[in-house]
Structure 1
Amino acid sequence: MPHANLLGEEGAGLRLSGASFTGAAALIGMLGVALMRTAFEHALDFARSERRGGIVPIVEHQAVGYALADAKMSIETARALSWRACHAVDAGHPAAPELANYSKIFGSETAVRVITELMRVVGVDSYEEADPLNGLLQDALVLPLFAGGNLGGRRRALHAMLQQPGYDPLTAYDAT
């Protein structure tokens, strides 16, 4: 005799569990955005005020300006994707699991990369315990591992979804 599901319908427990991971995944993407935005504001303030012995603030140097622009572009991309994922979860849209996984993977991995790049703007001082970038990087490093590691569960979930015969790649496009 099959195991009786506490929620009545066969498979309902798995769907409920999956739904909780979907919401958590979307929020992890947003957490990555919050960490990146905080790191960006710190690095931008630093670059606007620090001269490093030169005449002008380092924000006026091309390499620093490009690093900040690239960071901002990545933050806005992760923010838009995470917002869409959270909206799809709230609306119960069929694309919510797909978008939430993208949000978690992209947001968490982008947070690690962006904060590391912003630390290069600030320099070796950013590795000191007193510098906020140090703590932000420590927080970002756990995101790809939290609620199922990106390399394991989340990417496997996306791979399995793409293999389903009824998978419609346009479903995620319609989620607003």
Structure 2
Amino acid sequence: MDFASGEATLALQGLARDFARQEIAPLTDALDQEKDPEKRFPGEVLDKGDALGLRTLSVPESLGGGGAGLLSLSFVAEEIGWGDLGVGVIYAQDWALAIAVSRLWDEAGFAAFAENFVQDHALHLAHVRTAATPAPEDKSPYPSDARQGASIEKDGDGLRLSGGARHVLNGAAAGLFLLESDSANENERRIFLLENRDGSGVEVARYHDPMGMRACPDVDLRFEDAQPGHPLDCAEEKWRDATHALRILPASAAVGCARKSHEHAHDHARERVQGGKPIIEHQTVGYMLCDNLMELDAARRSLQAAAWAAEHGEKAEPWRSFLAKAFATESCERVARRAMEVWGGAGYMTEAPMERLVRDVVAFSHAFGMGHAARSAAMGLL
């Protein structure tokens, strides 16, 4: 099946490819070397992308967005991830959470969200998992002011959110949080929206310094009497169907990063001469490059198939996005490691391009649920 047959999809893919090469890659190379995690946020490149309409691509055209579907967005995410995986994850999370709001809220609620999202050009989205009851102290080995798990409690006629949340991707720059909490009914979840503005009770407790994917801030948040909006109770199945994009789109960005590592390895193998011929003609190197192509194509196709199924309301295989995310993530790590090996001893030197790409895909393997978590979720849907 040719998932990219539509002209609109190909046009968006070309726009993203040009933007990744001309704007994202040159800027984020320097950000990756920035020692201070608080100074790595790629605000300049995101502003340029917003001017092209990238940030709001998943919002319907009738509400001021780009009107791109999930399958088209998977193509765009791969190109953005080629430029930088951290930037790709920021965009993927914006698109995926906007899609989730569109599927969870009613028409009027989503229209109000979309108006705010489209008009505020610096507004980004983040996802936070909270508890329905006060959570125990976090026993993580490193210090933070967000040690008490975040929980939502009744406060008169409203709600109050207090405590902390760890490892919130793009949490420092997010202007709106989608909060996910357990419900009294084990088959339901409670979903909230929380604005992050001055005086809203949201603070960054700690900036982490990850080994890779550094353009996407990884932070701990502290909530103090924050007031989320009216809760939305939704069935577990509805939440799962609303969040397919939160697994598919970030993983598509990771495929772009892995593809970039393969391209570097392929070019190096054609130029590097050993034994009187380019090393690409040596069987061991050629096999590694072939393995990379097989895994990249399989990972891309599995994500595209999951996106197509989610867009077309396929209910028979609800496990697809979980396993596609797990397979693609693990494939990307293998591809990047093989690509580094093609470079030999020079591959893991910091002056070579490979070590950064390996760091990025390894960092991504810890984001949006690791492989075992995805398999556990899928296992319950078999």
CA distance in structure 1 between the aligned counterparts of 2:348 and 2:288, rounded to whole angstroms? 18
Q: Which has the higher contact order (CA 8 A, sep 6+)?
A: 1
The Cα shift of 1:96 comes to 6.3
CA distance in structure 2 between the aligned counterparts of 1:147 and 1:95, rounded to whole angstroms? 23
Q: Quick one: which amino acid aligns to residue 381 of structure 2?
A: M
2:235 paired with 1:28: no
CA distance in structure 2 between the aligned counterparts of 1:48 and 1:131, rounded to whole angstroms? 16
CA distance in structure 2 between the aligned counterparts of 1:150 and 1:112, rounded to whole angstroms? 12
CA distance in structure 1 between the aligned counterparts of 2:302 and 2:285, rounded to whole angstroms? 26
Q: Quick one: which amino acid aligns to residue 330 of structure 2?
A: E
Which shifted more, 67-76 or 130-139? Answer: 130-139
- Consecutive unaligned residues in structure 2, runs of 5 or more: 1-183, 191-230
State the match for 2:288 in structure 1: 67
Contact 2:255/2:332, CA 8 A, preserved across alignment: yes
The Cα shift of 1:125 comes to 1.1
Contact 1:111/1:140, CA 8 A, preserved across alignment: yes
SS, match of residue 315 in structure 2 = coil
Identity of aligned residues (%): 29
Spell out, residue by residue over 1:56-82, the C-alpha distance to the aligned partner (whole angstroms, 9 max, x if none): 111111111111111111111111111
SS, match of residue 146 in structure 1 = coil
Q: Normalized against structure 2, the TM-score is what?
A: 0.38
Bigger fraction of residues in helix: 1
2:272 to 23, 28, 50: 50
CA distance in structure 1 between the aligned counterparts of 2:317 and 2:368, rounded to whole angstroms? 16
The Cα shift of 1:28 comes to 3.1
Q: 1:155 to 1:134 in 2, by over 3 A?
A: same
The Cα shift of 1:32 comes to 2.8
SS, match of residue 161 in structure 1 = coil
Within 5 Å, give how 1:92-107 maps onto structure 2.
92-95=313-316, 97-107=318-328
CA distance in structure 2 between the aligned counterparts of 1:26 and 1:100, rounded to whole angstroms? 6
SS, match of residue 12 in structure 1 = strand
State the match for 2:329 in structure 1: 108
- Consecutive unaligned residues in structure 1, runs of 5 or more: 163-176
Q: Normalized against structure 1, the TM-score is what?
A: 0.78
The Cα shift of 1:92 comes to 2.9
The Cα shift of 1:20 comes to 4.7
Contact 2:318/2:381, CA 8 A, preserved across alignment: no
Bigger fraction of residues in strand: 2
The Cα shift of 1:17 comes to 3.9
Which shifted more, 142-151 or 114-123? Answer: 142-151
CA distance in structure 2 between the aligned counterparts of 1:13 and 1:80, rounded to whole angstroms? 29
State the match for 1:155 in structure 2: 375
2:357 paired with 1:136: yes
For the aligned residue pairs, the C-alpha RMSD in angstroms reads 2.2
The Cα shift of 1:116 comes to 0.7
Contact 1:21/1:147, CA 8 A, preserved across alignment: no
Q: 1:137 to 1:96 in 2, by over 3 A?
A: farther
